[in-house]
Amino acid sequence: MALQSSGPIDISDIQTELGSSSGSLRTLSAAAGKSTPDAMSEFYGYSNFTASSNFAPILYTGNSSTQSITTGFQPDLVWMKGRSNYYVHQATDSVRGVTKNLFPNYNLSEYTETNTVQSFNSNGFTLGSEARINASGTTYVAWTWKAGNGTSTNTNGTVTSTVSANQAAGFSISIFTAPTTNNIGFTVGHGLSQAPEVFIIKDRDLTGVGWHVYSSHLPSSTSAYLQLNESNGTATAPLWNSANPTSSIINLRSGWAMGAGNKCVVYSWHSVAGYSKFGTFTGNDSTQTITTGFQPRWVMIKSLLGSSSGMADWHIYDSARGFGTSSSYTTPYLKANKTDTEVNNNYVSVTSTGFTMNTYYQNLSGWGDFFYMAFA
């Protein structure tokens, strides 16, 4: 088949083209409106993309000493949680630095500590002796993402950011300092090649301000948000300055989700065919399958309704801890907004092309709409 001469090209079209007798990189380059080595180099960069080299859920057992954890690639974001003890979630990234810790289930400011993550390595990361992430005998999970393995200065926004971007995987980490005047709109460069569908922002300096989640899939996305550290449903506020992100910047408003003049971090993602998918679905009080186009290794689900009884927590499932393939399997989950230990149920299972709600459970498949993030 002939590839279209302009616009986006689906991965299945590329696979078909390369499998045909006349398929070639030059044909693909021409279809993308490019020729020359730049097009060839860009295609090679994407064609060599593998999910397991950009994201991995990893299990380990603490030893109260130094230990190296292997991921198979150099991670830039490591999110850790104790499975068998009531430890807080901890997120450390290479852009803020290994001594800078944030806690996704709390609205605390950044905490500087030298004995947590010691280094990001070419094949994983090294831990220190801190009990939150390495207590002897405690079992842990680490969810790890690769960004750019380095940083650059981004001046696309009205505020300059420092960015580590993995365009092939649709993930970037950005840090910046908010304007010193409250209630003014501003923009920040994210470093990706297309608009983020999801980004999570945290004020690093201010306790009392939580983790605000933007998604283009939420109703009224230019004003709607969720909070990663809460079980609340969607709320609205001028956090995003009444505008969705573009292929180069995200829109923010000072004084909302951040203090004036404070340091902030943003984690941004967009879907990548065969690797990641973000969206919403409507519960049906019964069995329901969500199609992602790949077999997920990590899924996080959140009700948009919220609940004062805690029935709207952020549920996280992954293949490392055991992602069942039918309702007869017991699949463990953790809650992003809680210190709770791991819980087992059979509510969610994985398929070769998505994930299934196996039975009615208000938190995951009841009435109302649900937000999800999935990675292969």
pLDDT > 70 in the chain, percent: 83
Position 151 pLDDT exceeds 70 = yes
pTM above 0.85, yes or no: yes
pLDDT, residue 305, reads 87
Q: Which band of pLDDT confidence, cut at 50, 70 and 90, is reported for residue 363? A: low
Dihedral of alpha carbons 226, 229, 231, 237, sign: negative
| Residue closest to 374 by CA, chosen among 289, 250, 257 | 289
Enter the tokens of residue 98: 């290994």
Q: Provide the CA 47 distance to its chain's centre, in angstroms.
A: 22
Give the mean pLDDT of 26-30. Answer: 43
| Residue closest to 161 by CA, chosen among 77, 258, 208, 96 | 96
Helix (H, G, I), strand (E, B) or coil at 42: helix
Cα–Cα distance, 352 to 294 (Å, whole number)? 6
pLDDT, residue 35, reads 37
pLDDT, residue 340, reads 96
Is the separation of the CB atoms in 348 and 364 below 8 Å?
yes
For the segment 209-266, what is each residue's pLDDT rounded down to a tens digit?
Answer: 999 999 999 999 999 999 999 999 999 999 999 999 999 999 999 998 899 999 999 9
Position 150 pLDDT exceeds 90 = yes
Q: Which band of pLDDT confidence, cut at 50, 70 and 90, is reported for residue 362? A: low
Cα–Cα distance, 84 to 90 (Å, whole number)? 15
Dihedral of alpha carbons 193, 90, 187, 153, sign: negative
| Residue closest to 261 by CA, chosen among 208, 209, 205 | 205
Cα–Cα distance, 251 to 243 (Å, whole number)? 6
For the segment 271-323, what is each residue's pLDDT rounded down to a tens digit?
Answer: 999 999 999 999 887 788 999 999 999 999 999 987 655 568 999 999 999 98
pLDDT, residue 24, reads 41
Cα–Cα distance, 262 to 23 (Å, whole number)? 52
Helix (H, G, I), strand (E, B) or coil at 216: coil
3-state helix, strand, coil in the chain (%, to 5): 10, 35, 50
Cα–Cα distance, 11 to 43 (Å, whole number)? 11
Cα–Cα distance, 79 to 128 (Å, whole number)? 15
Torsions phi, psi of 15, nearest 5?
-60, -40
- What DSSP string describes 289-323? EEE-SS--SEEEEEESSB-TTSTT--EEEETTT--
Give the Å distances, CA to CA, from 126 to 118, 122, 286, 374: 5, 11, 43, 26
Average pLDDT, the chain: 88
Strand 224-227 with 161-166, pairing: unpaired
Give the Å distances, CA to CA, from 107 to 133, 141, 366: 19, 21, 28
Position 168 pLDDT exceeds 70 = yes
Is the separation of the CB atoms in 276 and 169 below 8 Å?
yes
Enter the tokens of residue 65: 């000493």
For the segment 322-342, what is each residue's pLDDT rounded down to a tens digit?
Answer: 987 776 678 899 999 999 999
Enter the tokens of residue 223: 């004003």
Position 197 pLDDT exceeds 80 = yes
pLDDT, residue 36, reads 38
For the segment 62-101, what is each residue's pLDDT rounded down to a tens digit?
Answer: 999 999 999 999 999 999 999 999 999 999 999 999 999 9
pLDDT, residue 265, reads 98
Cα–Cα distance, 174 to 229 (Å, whole number)? 20
Cα–Cα distance, 281 to 218 (Å, whole number)? 10
Specify the DSSP class assigned to residue 150: S
pLDDT, residue 346, reads 81
- Size of the chain, expressed as the number of residues it contains: 376
